[in-house]
């Protein structure tokens, strides 16, 4: 028994063979002509298109459209709030200038 060997060092394991081998025919079945990947897990179908996973159901499409419409509505609402704020500032400035002119006129009349 050598003194300089480490008893606790594990032996190197052998290289494992790949259990999964997909050939080109199997890959072509998964990828459509428009280069989207379709996956079905039970009743759920999802597609990988344009760098993101999308559900194939109609409800998911409707939800996506509604979210887009909601976002557009929120942006429009923010723009309208900004316009109202600008109009209120303009009204305040005009009212202040009018009050100054009224005071100046009343001072000049005396």
Any idea where the domains of the chain sit in the sequence? 58-109
Residue holding tokens 């459509």? 32
Tokens at 104, concatenated: 């100046």
Residue 66 has a CB neighbour count (10 Å cut-off) of: 10
Q: 37-85 pLDDT, tens per residue?
A: 888 888 778 888 777 888 777 777 788 899 999 999 999 999 999 999 9
* Apex 65 CA angle, 74 and 75, nearest 5: 15
CB 57 within 8 A of CB 65: no
Q: Whole-model pTM?
A: 0.49
DSSP 11: P
Q: How far apart are alpha carbons 35 and 50 in whole angstroms?
A: 9
């Amino acid at each position: 028994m050598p003194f300089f060997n480490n008893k606790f060092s594990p032996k190197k394991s052998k290289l494992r063979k790949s259990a999964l081998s997909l050939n080109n025919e199997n890959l072509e079945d998964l990828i459509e002509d428009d280069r989207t990947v379709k996956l079905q897990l039970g009743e759920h179908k999802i597609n990988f298109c344009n760098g993101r996973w999308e559900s194939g159901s109609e409800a998911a499409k409707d939800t996506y459209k509604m979210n887009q419409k909601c976002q557009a509505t929120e942006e429009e609402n923010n723009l309208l709030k900004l316009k109202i704020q600008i109009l209120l500032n303009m009204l305040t400035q005009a009212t202040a200038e009018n009050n100054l002119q009224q005071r100046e006129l009343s001072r000049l009349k005396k």
